[in-house]
Amino acid sequence: MQDIEQIYKQYFETVYKYLFCLTHNRNISEELTQETFYRAVKKIGTYKGNCKISVWLCQIAKNLWYDECRKNKRLTKIDDNQFFEIPTLEKTEDAVVVNEEKMVLYQRIQKLDEKTREVIYLRITGELSFKEIGIILNKSENWAKVTFYRGKQKLKEGD
């Protein structure tokens, strides 16, 4: 078993990106990421090694987010200004085109159903395998593959 500091350094970004996909809010994602690692330290004895540590951490993170939503009766609808807050890049035509393409893609992703959206975010930003996605969402690896494929097809079709 790795020590918790090493786990934190290795998986902080993965957990943060996963939470950002769920919350679309940097501040909430940061808070929940910290809480995820706090809970992981407290519950490290319950980690059985049946899955990757990153998957276990993302399961903790997901449960924290769901708890937060229930507690605050928060909807997972995003505030477009927060979601598309992109750091200023060089003011070149290329950067503008890339940002516009990203915005269009994210807008299309937001039109997908919640589970498909979550699978796509986990695969793209979390860089998780279909097996890991299935574990996190309590579904099969095949379900994650099919959902991702169908989501990609819908994104290609456009609106």
Q: Which CATH architecture is the domain 86-159 placed in?
A: Orthogonal Bundle (1.10)
CA angle 60, 62, 68 (to 5 degrees): 105
Do 116 and 150 touch, CB atoms closer than 8 A? yes
Q: pLDDT higher for 94 or 157? A: 157
* In the block, residue with structure tokens 């003011």: 91
Do 29 and 12 touch, CB atoms closer than 8 A? no
Q: What is the pLDDT of residue 32?
A: 92
1-77 in CATH: which number? 1.10.1740.10
Per-residue pLDDT reduced to its tens digit, 52-97: 888 888 888 888 988 888 877 654 444 433 433 333 333 444 444 5
Domains 1-77 and 86-159 share a fold: no
Q: What is the pLDDT of residue 147?
A: 92
**Where in the chain are the domains?**
1-77, 86-159
* In the block, residue with structure tokens 């449960």: 63
Per-residue pLDDT reduced to its tens digit, 93-148: 444 455 566 677 777 888 888 889 888 888 877 778 899 888 888 899 999 999 99
For residue 82 the two structure tokens come to 């927060």
Half-sphere exposure of 35 (CA within 13 A, CB side): 16
Per-residue pLDDT reduced to its tens digit, 2-38: 577 888 888 888 888 888 887 888 888 899 999 999 9
Half-sphere exposure of 138 (CA within 13 A, CB side): 3
Q: What is the model's pTM?
A: 0.53
* In the block, residue with structure tokens 């990421």: 33
Q: What is the pLDDT of residue 112?
A: 85
Q: What is the pLDDT of residue 106?
A: 73
Do 126 and 144 touch, CB atoms closer than 8 A? no
